[in-house]
Chain A
Amino acid sequence: MNANQQALVDRWQSFLAKIHERLAEICVEAEAGVRAIAAQHPEDQMPVSNAITGLDHRVRQLRDKIQETWDAQVEDKFSADPEIHDVGLDMKQDSEVLLDEKWSLAKAAWMSEIAREAFGRAMAAMEKPVPCSSCGAPLNLPTRIELVAATCTHCGVVNQAAPSMAIQYYFGWCVQNLADAAALPHRHAVERQRIVADRWRRDRNWAAEPVESLEEWERLERRYWETVAHERARLRNEPVDQKYIDSRMAYFYKYSLESNQQWVRAKGRHGG
């Protein structure tokens, strides 16, 4: 790389680094705000979800600046020198992917912390006896984390007993957030593998992706959904929901792998 090329790369790198610094600032302030809202509304997921939606939008605006700046000020300069055009594009893509990963990891860490704090409240709620709504005698419930119909052994009336808000908050929303957080590195691995595969094709004049690479994609995708399902099952003390994994993979086959002719020729279709 000559001095002019290096200077262009350095300027682009410096801009991308500023975007990441801005993300770091947002993360610091967002964490304090999200945790304060969670503490203020300990049994209501809506305020935290609202805040995350707003923050997602803010981070998307930041991410869009990369593309806008590339289009308006940078692409022409890299295009003028075909030797480094792909270098500029790859820097942009790597920066966008890293930004997405940092943001999703930050959110996962906050959500996991909120879930860990909610666990104690859910356990305390589960230890409280649930009295029959007709006579007040304690009900013998088979589970406290699902809606169940329980017949009072004292007065014989059927009670529909739903989990209390603290229990619903943890075993519904928080458990899903913990499972998503546990599986997040596997989602990132899928995304990185797709970038590697795309660059491999680009370097070979857009040759077809080898079946081995597609098999690796399939393996990573399955590991992601298995991790979500296993973690959720572990936290809820339930069997793993294999149908959930199969249904997610069915969509993946139909809309991703089976749109690739190499794959269909080698493996056929799963049907559907």
Chain B
Amino acid sequence: MTPDELADAVSMHRARLLAAFRGEEPWEPVAESYGVTPTGAREAELRACLEAVATWGRDAASRLGPPGVGITAHLADLVRETMNEIAPAPTTGGKAGLAMIFANATASVSWWKERYGKVKTIYVARCRFCGGKQTTALAFHCPYCGRFLYADPKQA
């Protein structure tokens, strides 16, 4: 498993937990599959499931060698950010008729996060043919096989 595959796996676990938490599938069997016994306190159960995923992710990452910054940040924020996401929108604004504005403001946040997840902030360009890594800034031919690093969209 590569760091990218691990990050994808963590995102998939997170998406599945969120979907079940929101009622898209029965919550109890999902929680049990992460080793969490349902107690009726759904938010605490979700947190425990996320912590189990984070622990599993950290173990898997440590077996991959030096930790990549992307997966480390992803795991560090997993529990906090997901719990923030399921927190209800601010209920203020009732008197001035603003409650709907605040509900709408946060309505699409989880939609974007689930599809695009964490933004990678460190990236190394690799040759699409031999996997060689870029070693000179602004030089986009592979230092090993000499071919251009990026595919030409005009060529099939």
**Which positions in A face B, CB cutoff 8 Å?**
22, 25-26, 28-30, 32-33, 36-37, 40-41, 44, 46-48, 50-51, 54-55, 58, 130-136, 149, 151, 156-165
Contacts and interface: CB of A to CB of B under 8 A. Distances in A.
B121 A163 contact: yes
B141 to A, nearest CB: 13
A44 B106 CA distance: 11
A81 to B, nearest CB: 36
Contact of A30 (B93, B104, B133, B134): B93
The 6 closest A-B pairs by CB, nearest first: A136-B66, A54-B101, A51-B105, A36-B90, A50-B105, A149-B137
Contacts of A29: 92-96, 98
A130 B106 contact: no
B113 to A, nearest CB: 8
Contacts of A55: 98, 101
B121 A158 contact: no
Given A47-B106, A136-B67, A159 B124 contact: yes
Q: Which of B68, B123, B138 has the most CB of A within 10 A?
A: B123
Contacts of A149: 137-138
A157 B133 CA distance: 6
A161 B121 contact: yes
B101 A51 contact: yes
Q: Which of B66, B69, B105, B137 has the most CB of A within 10 A?
A: B105
A243 B66 CA distance: 44
Contact of B84 (A25, A41, A58): A41
B135 interface: yes
A51 B102 contact: yes
B40 interface: no
